[in-house]
Amino acid sequence: MQSTAASCPAMLMAAPASGQGKTMTTAALARAYRNRGLRVQAFKCGPDFIDGMILQVATGNPVYNLDLGMCGEADAQRLLYQAAQENDVILLEGVMGLYDGKPSCADIAEHFGIPVALVLNAKAMAQTCAAVAYGLYGFRPALKRAGVIANQVGSDGHANMIKEALPADIPWLGAMKHDAQLSLPERHLGLHLAQEIADIDLRIEAAAQLLGPDLPLPPAVDFAAPEKQDIPPLLQGKTIAVAKDAAFCFTYQANLDLLQAMGADISFFSPLHDTQLPAADAYWLPGGYPELHLQQLKDNTAMRDGLQAAADTGTPILAECGGMLALGETLNGQPVFGLLPGSAETQPKLQGLGTQHATFPAAGADTTTIGAHTFHYGRFETNLPVITQGKGKYGAGEPVYKQGSITASFLHFYFPSNPALAAQFFLP
């Protein structure tokens, strides 16, 4: 008989704003607990892909996203309950500032009763950190207070000034001294990919050592059991080949899990390096950084020909964001795979950001709306027919294009928000 709740120490790492060091601090915590022999499951609040890759290096486990807007409350409850059953510690990295966005990571923390730890960049302040912590917690008194980690402190004395200034009801969790070697490089979509930082494991380990051996466990949280989810075996016997390399890497682990739960076999291939497209019943080119690998894409004519042959025979292909740009005719003036009519250019300013929901005229699904998000600097000029359009907080969002068996959009779809509809992307 299924229990009604699963208990596990859990903590959500938040900050007043982006750029405070949440990712490295969360990774350091995760590694510190893992070094003690504990099983650690990390989550990323919001739809971000890149931070989760860093946390996966720290924990050794796949990282999942929690977002009440894109993923939904039921999905978050299911993931947290499962994690509590299988792990000794749960860590969630917040997104932007604690209260930014609707819903925010504070909403996640309050809804599930998860204590919030504050990561504060103390490089240019001392006792004022205590005032910032007091204000952040006081803004929503219902939030449980896990405590403060001061980041970028200059010395033990600096850390002590912050610690001594904290009110009695705000715990001190520790400090991380300033070390330029522990910073993570950034570019237009956020941090560099974990695989691009050669010494990422050493950086995380060094950061974990800064937290010291006496790091306490977070408070235990009871996570209620979710309602039983029936996954239809709509992809039984199908093989789905997923592009995975430095140019195509933005995939949600929950999406892969769902495809397998629906019966699909998953294989991976590299449009950059492989000279032959693997045999499969459907293909998925997720987002990533094709604009950084234009010469390799241009030169891989065998991959282009393989994808074109798959499209010509009606094999389903889903192309998201960077995957769509790579299937166009040109990207930043350079020829790419050329399966879709249209040219793309990356822009100096952000072109799309936020959670959206797309409603499809899809057969075989009880409901036809799926959660998604967009975050890109690209512009795609095309005359492709639009079969639907995402809808966000401020109205109409990203178009979804269809040409033959190819579905393409700047949207990154979150498959568990509508399993039956997600299956349709990979069925003829």
State the distance between the two ends of the chain, measured CA to CA, in whole angstroms. Answer: 40
CB atoms within 10 A of CB 86: 13
Residue 321 among the catalytic residues: yes
Token digits for 12?
């959500």
Residue 298 and residue 253: Cα distance in Å, rounded? 29
Of the residues 45, 105, 129, 321, which is catalytic? 321
Using alpha carbons, list the distances in angstroms from residue 364 to 361, 381, 390: 10, 31, 20
- Residue 132, judged by CB atoms within 10 A of its CB (0-12, 13-18, 19+), counts as middle
CA angle in degrees (0–180, nearest 5) for 143-145-147: 150
**384 within 8 A of 295, measured Cβ to Cβ:** no
Concatenating the DSSP letter of every residue in 53-69 gives HHHHHHHSS--EEE-TT
**398 within 8 A of 356, measured Cβ to Cβ:** yes
Element (H, E) at 109: helix 105-112
Token digits for 324?
């769509």
Residues marked active site are found at 321
